[in-house]
Amino acid sequence: MIQVEEMVKKIYNAIDDKKGEDIAILDLKNITSVADYFVIASATSERQVKAIADNVEYEVEKEGISVKRKDGHNTSRWILLDYGDVMVHIFHTEERAFYDLERLWKDAPYIDIETL
């Protein structure tokens, strides 16, 4: 089993491989018990949102880790992948601006993938 930080890196790379935009990693460990990290990214089309989410699932599954819950595949405007310690939010650009999770979780520090 990989460490949670390694999983975040794998998720980040899976998003980046499919040209996800504005990838943000929020550290929630000292703020909530919902998850240790949120990984948030944007895409410019429903097809790309779905492709990114599918790639994240594929890459994480290679490590023997299955998604606990997923939601949003029917519309592909906001797909949530819940891995317990890490929650992945893949947004269509318009939905990301509307829901603005970074503002809602403004107390959470941003993590630079290079320092994780």
pLDDT, one tens digit per residue, over 17-58 is: 999 999 999 999 999 999 999 999 999 999 999 999 999 999
Structural domain containing residue 76: 4-115
List the one residue out of 23, 60, 62, 64 whose CA is nearest residue 41.
23
Residue 2 pLDDT exceeds 90:
no
User: What's the helix, strand, coil split of the chain in %, to 5?
Assistant: 40, 25, 35
CATH number, domain of 92, equals 3.30.460.10
Residue 1 pLDDT exceeds 80:
no
**Domains contained in the chain, number:** 1
What percent of the chain is modeled with pLDDT above 90?
A: 96
pLDDT range class, residue 116, cuts 50, 70, 90: confident
In the prediction, which pLDDT does 46 show? 96
Each residue's pLDDT tens digit, 68-82? 999 998 999 999 999
Amino acid code (one letter) for 95: E
Structure tokens at 102: 């970074």
Structure tokens at 33: 């018990």
